[in-house]
Amino acid sequence: MTATSQNFGKVAVLMGGQSAEREISFLSGRGVLAALQSRGVDAHAFDPAERNLSDLQKLGFQRCFIALHGRFGEDGTVQGALELLGIPYTGSGVMASSIAIDKTMTKRVWLSENVPTPNYVLLKQNDLGVAAQTRVLQSLGLPLIVKPAREGSSIGVTKVTQASDLPKALEDAAQCDADILCEQFIAGDEVTCPVLGEGDTAKALPVIRIIAPAGNYDYQNKYFTDDTQYLVPSGLPEAEEKVIQAHALKAYQVLGCKGWGRVDVMIDAQTRQPYLLEINTSPGMTGHSLVPMSAKADGMSYEDLCIYLLASASLEHSSAEKGGA
C-alpha cells in the first residue's frame, strides 16, 4: 500500500540538537518539514536541545523523522530514547548508529568484512606527544588526514602535508573529540554513494562525483558556496561505478544500517581502487545535500524521498517484546 499523510499521524521532525552540526541540522530539518507539510503530513519541528524528548510522548507524536546530525542525534542516543518511548523513527537503529558515528569502529567492522578502507592510527586526546606523532608518520607517511573520530561535516579535519603541521592538526581534532583518527591520504576522485532500504532489499543509488575548489571539500564548500561541482551521472566508467555501489551496499549492510545512509569514498588515482572513508546514517537534506541529488537522478523527488523515509520509520524492538510473556 502506498503511504499517505493520513496513516503517518502526528510527526515530529527532530532538528537542531546539541552537536557541532546544529546549524546544518536546522537547514536539513526545515527542508524536510516543508516537504512533508507540502504532502499533507501533520509534521512539526522539534529541537531536542530545547525540549525534553519525553514531550514527544506527551504531545502525541506517532513518528519521528530524524534530521539531526552528529552526536546526540546520529549516534544511537536519540534512537535509544525513542525505543524506550515506543515512537518509530527514521534511519538506523541504536547499534548501527552508534558504530557508524565512530569512524574507527566502522573501520574495524569493515576491515573484518573485507571492505576496503584507508590505513589508520588511532590516538587518544591525552597522548599526542612526540612518540605518538612518530608512530603516525612511520605508519602512514605524508600526506595524511587527521580528523575527530566522531564528528561530521568535515569539522576538525586537516590534511597534513608536512610533519611540522601534525601537532596543530592533532590539537584541532582533540578540541572536538577524545579520539583522534589519523588516516592514510588517498589521492584521486572523491565520490559518494547513498543507499536506501534494509537488508537484502537495500539499494545503492547513483554515485556522485565531487569536484571541490582546490580539492578542498571542507565545511564551507559543503554547505555555503556554489563553487563545488557535483556530477551525477558521475562520469565514471560504468564498471567502476558498479564496484563502488557494491562496496557501499556491503558497507551499509554489514553495519546493520536501515532506512538510508551515505557512504563517502576516495578512488585512488593510480590504481582506481575505491577506499571507503565513512558512512553517514542521518545524511544532510539541505539544498546542497547529496542524497536528494542522487535520488533525483534515480527519479525520486525531494518530497518523495522524505515520504519514503518517513514511511520506513520503525522500532527495533516491538512493544510485544518489551512487555514480556
CATH of the domain at 211: 3.30.470.20
The cell numbers describing 324, all together, are: 514480556
Name the active-site residue from 74, 241, 278, 316.
278
Q: How many CB atoms lie within 10 A of CB 25?
A: 29
Same structural domain for residues 196 and 289?
Answer: yes
Same structural domain for residues 12 and 81?
Answer: yes
Q: What is the pLDDT of residues 263-294, one digit of tens each?
A: 999 999 999 999 999 999 999 999 889 999 99
Q: How far apart are CA 304 and CA 36, in angstroms?
A: 9
Same structural domain for residues 107 and 221?
Answer: yes
Q: How far apart are CA 77 and CA 105, in angstroms?
A: 17
**pLDDT score at 178:** 95
pTM of the predicted structure, to 2 decimals:
0.92
Same structural domain for residues 136 and 60?
Answer: no
Number of domains in the chain: 3
Max CA pair span of the chain: 63
Helix, strand, coil in percent for the chain, rounding step 5: 40, 20, 40
Name the active-site residue from 223, 252, 275, 302.
223
Name the active-site residue from 16, 17, 19, 21.
21
Same structural domain for residues 74 and 136?
Answer: no
Range of the domain at 270: 99-116+186-309
Does residue 319 sit within a domain? Answer: no
Q: What is the pLDDT of residues 49-106, one digit of tens each?
A: 999 999 999 999 999 999 999 989 999 999 999 999 999 999 999 999 999 999 999 9
Does residue 205 sit within a domain? Answer: yes
Name the active-site residue from 63, 71, 150, 262.
262
Long-range contacts of 131-136 (CB under 8 A, 24+ apart): 133/163, 133/166, 133/167, 133/170, 136/166, 136/182
Does residue 251 sit within a domain? Answer: yes
- The DSSP code for 165 is G
Beta-carbon contacts of residue 219 (< 8 Å; ≥ 6 apart)? 153, 154, 155
Does residue 150 sit within a domain? Answer: yes
Q: Give Rg (Cα) of the chain.
A: 20
Same structural domain for residues 224 and 286?
Answer: yes
Same structural domain for residues 11 and 55?
Answer: yes
Beta-carbon contacts of residue 132 (< 8 Å; ≥ 6 apart)? 123
The answer to whether 280 is a known catalytic residue is: yes
Does residue 232 sit within a domain? Answer: yes
Same structural domain for residues 134 and 248?
Answer: no
**pLDDT score at 323:** 43
Name the active-site residue from 28, 153, 234, 282.
153
Same structural domain for residues 81 and 173?
Answer: no
Does residue 317 sit within a domain? Answer: no
Domain end, chosen from 139, 163, 184, is at 184
The answer to whether 83 is a known catalytic residue is: no
Does residue 161 sit within a domain? Answer: yes
- DSSP helix/strand/coil, 223: helix
Segment holding 83, helix H or strand E? helix 77-85
Same structural domain for residues 107 and 219?
Answer: yes
Q: How far apart are CA 248 and CA 79, in angstroms?
A: 23
Q: How far apart are CA 322 and CA 39, in angstroms?
A: 33
CATH of the domain at 150: 3.30.1490.20
Q: How far apart are CA 94 and CA 289, in angstroms?
A: 24
**pLDDT above 70 (res 325):** no
The answer to whether 264 is a known catalytic residue is: yes
Same structural domain for residues 225 and 106?
Answer: yes
Residue 231: Cβ-neighbour burial (10 angstroms; 0-12, 13-18, 19+) = middle
**pLDDT score at 5:** 65
pLDDT band of 46, cuts 50, 70, 90:
very high
Residue 137: Cβ-neighbour burial (10 angstroms; 0-12, 13-18, 19+) = middle
The answer to whether 275 is a known catalytic residue is: no
The CA-CA-CA angle for residues 121, 127, 129, to 5°, reads 95
Name the active-site residue from 19, 25, 98, 280.
280
Does residue 215 sit within a domain? Answer: yes
The answer to whether 114 is a known catalytic residue is: no
The answer to whether 284 is a known catalytic residue is: yes
Segment holding 294, helix H or strand E? helix 290-297
